[in-house]
Structure 1
Amino acid sequence: MKLHRMPFLVQKMIIAEMNFDDRLYLSVTSKRTCRLLEMSKLDLVSISITVYLSYVLVRVGHPYAHLYFNIPFKQSETDNGHHNHLKIGNCSNFQFLRTNWDSFTWNYEGVELERIKNAGIVFGKLLRHLKTFLNIRKPVQCSFRTVPVGLIPQLDCNYVYDRIEIRHRGAENMTPEDLTFLLGQLKIKQLDLNVKVPVGGYKYQRNPENKCLIQKLIIRNHIWVDFSELPAAKLIAIKKRISFHQMNTILKSWVAGSNRDMEIGDFELGKKTDRKIIFSGIGTHATQLTESERETFLEFVCPYPHLRRGVVAVDIIRENDGTRATVFEAKDVDDPHRKMFVMVWSEENLRRVGRDVD
């Protein structure tokens, strides 16, 4: 007896038991999209994936067109009339369908409607499928409006993500496992986090064996941060005010040999500073950066001139290898809040300020 002639419930049981969906790539996207694209290897500029509360929005870019569609998490999203559409950019050189701006509704089969109930499963299937037929020239960009449990581990570790933002008006809850995967397994050019971990007393502990995979890390809620061992990133910006003692911990740990991946630091201090507390137990030296080099660095890390007034700079030295770092304290002329920047004398930073590196 043919499978398609069997009762629907029996079909569901057989497909689920034999795991045909994964083994044969019988996912929602692959069957329909491969039919549209005729299994051709497309040369695309970029992919943008946004996870909303009830669906995943996907945009794929081409030099002459764009494609976007959304995938709901639950059957109710289609039953209530919130249909899923695939739309094609208006151009003549890059068409998936016969007419421009044509659209259709995803035909979800019952087994998929039943099984795809959270963003993690949908997102994982989507990335795995897109990777099979898309030649993406630029990194992938992902924006999360919500972070369902299990979503983060579905991200493909083979991609280089241009930007991942997990932001909300209030901090987004994230499990320790998801946060550990995000900070330690993914290659990301810029990671923007406004998250909290609903586990009492939790502090993120990085794996010392993991390489630094994040270029720029922006932290908007630091309750989960261990200031003695910051997450591995070349540029770390903490946008929520930290205490003088926390700033002291960051600098003292760097001098002692921790926080080694940080090459640039950007920290908010508040309306006043207490240099005695900030540099307690740390040897400081007159900075060896020239005025021109200091100005070049500050222009890079803080492009707004009014935030670079009244700058005070000192050098600190790492004990185990003699690496030097310059610590800047700056304030806004119209705002009493102060900032502190750290520039480690790495080869990249020295070239950035115009100094020759042998």
Structure 2
Amino acid sequence: MEEPPGNPKFGLLKCPFALREQIVRNMEFMDAFHLSTLSKRSKQMVHKAKYQTVHITFGFEEDSREDHIEFGIKDFERLKISFSDSNDTPERDPNAIDGRKLAILIDGPSCDYRKKLSAHLLFIFHSDWTIIYIERNIKNLGDIFQWNFRKTFDYVRLSAVGVLHITPEALKSILNSLESKKFELEFKMDDSIYKYRETLNNCDILNVRDSIHWLEIDNFLDRNPKMKILALQDLPGEQINNLLKQWIHGKVVDMETWYLLRNYGYPDDVIFDGIVTMKTKLTEKQAFAIFVFWDAASTTVDIRRKVDGKLATVHINWTGCVVSMCNEQILAGL
């Protein structure tokens, strides 16, 4: 009497690494995910194959039931996973996968399914951009999630379709708990006294709109020497003057461009109070290439940094004030 055949063994793990890598990379996204949940070895296999996605975005919506994770997959395909608070009933998006059901497949304890699911997804999938959108006010970051498994991201945005009102405590919690290459902050803050005086670690780009008074400008460049791009809306002219003096008299910093925007621009005498300016060395054609809204009838001058003699060009027109510290680099790339 013949014995019944045993359960077939999973042969992929026996294949050479290069072959396994190509097989995993060519799988459908959810097939790769399910493969990663079969065992610890399969999880490591998917991780080592470096299945690439365009982005992984954590969206914390105005209504917490609509929280989600979204993956940008090749060929502009997007996949959404519901990520609502454990105490809420998810707002069922017919195009979203239930995150709770996926978390059940993942081995490992966790008091919050979102933590387990997020840690697993970030481990097995590789992404060009890891993003967080926060569209509701919170008391502190722990109210929406404990990011103790990952603190560094590519892009963090605080913004809403309507107006997002935020407290100093919430803002400090987010900026101190997360590191991001880019922060985009668009909100209203009613507290007119609070000042954020700490360093934004590893931040290359800071973009602030609506409320600006919370950002401490004194010694800003000393606190953030690695920052490259600064985009601020409605910053008072006296504080722009302060920033320019910090650049002129301070140490070498990585700043490349400032976009200091305000309707109807700024008066020259406020911006350049106590600052030595020179006729710009840029030609009209070069200035047009560097400054997006360059206006030949407006003010364009150079300033010099004392520590190394480096020049920066300041352009003031009806849109505000733009400062370029990397003219040679930009012109070389044209």
TM-score (norm 2): 0.68
1:352 maps to a residue whose letter is: I
Letter in 2 for 1:194: E
How much has 1:155 moved relative to structure 2? Answer: 7.1
Mapping for residues 280-299 of structure 1, pairs under 5 Å: 280-298=273-291
* Mapped contact 1:309–1:330 kept (Cα < 8 A): no
Deviates more, 1:193-202 or 1:320-329: 193-202
Contact preservation (8 Å) 2:265, 2:316: no
Superposition deviation, residue 186 in structure 1: 1.7
Query: What is the CA–CA distance in structure 1 between the aligned matches of 2:148 and 2:283, rounded to whole Å?
Result: 44
Offset of residue 147 of structure 1:
4.7
CA contact (8 A) 1:152 1:178 kept: no
1:140 and 1:285 mapped to 2: Cα distance?
43
Kindly indicate whether residue 86 of structure 2 is the aligned counterpart of residue 69 of structure 1: no
For structure 1, which runs of at least 5 residues remain unmatched after alignment?
Answer: 1-32, 89-102, 332-337
**CA distance in 1: counterparts of 2:280 and 2:299, whole angstroms:** 10
**TM-score (norm: length of structure 1):** 0.64
Q: How does 1:129-278 map to 2 (within 5 A)?
A: 129-134=120-125, 136-148=126-138, 149-150=140-141, 151=144, 154=147, 159-161=152-154, 163-168=155-160, 169-176=162-169, 179=172, 182=175, 186-188=179-181, 190-195=182-187, 201-207=193-199, 213-220=202-209, 221-230=211-220, 232=224, 233-239=227-233, 241-257=234-250, 260-271=253-264, 273-278=266-271
Instruction: Supply the RMSD in Å over aligned alpha carbons.
Output: 3.7
Contact 2:278 2:301 in 1 (8 A): yes
Q: Which residue of 2 aligns with 1:4?
A: none
Give, in angstroms, the shift of residue 36 of structure 1: 8.2
The whole-number CA distance in structure 1 between the counterparts of 2:133 and 2:119 is 18
Q: Identity of aligned pairs, percent? A: 18
What is aligned with 2:58?
49
Alpha-carbon deviation of 1:181? 5.9
Counterpart AA for 1:141: I
- 1:351, CA displacement in angstroms? 2.0
Give, as a single letter, the amino acid of the residue that structure 2 aligns with 1:60: F
Q: Deviations over 1:125-178 (max 9, x none)?
A: 4432222322x14121222212531258717657551x3221133344154585
User: In structure 2, how many angstroms separate the alpha carbons of the residues matched to 1:216 and 1:243?
Assistant: 20
Q: Which runs of 5+ in 2 are unaligned?
A: 1-32, 105-109
Amino acid of the residue matched to residue 205 of structure 2?
Answer: K
Secondary structure of 2:133 counterpart: strand
Give, in angstroms, the shift of residue 235 of structure 1.
Answer: 0.7
Q: Note the C-alpha offset of 1:283.
A: 0.9
C-alpha change, 1:86 and 1:69, in structure 2 (3 Å) is farther
Are 2:300 and 1:313 equivalent residues in the alignment? yes
CA contact (8 A) 1:144 1:165 kept: yes
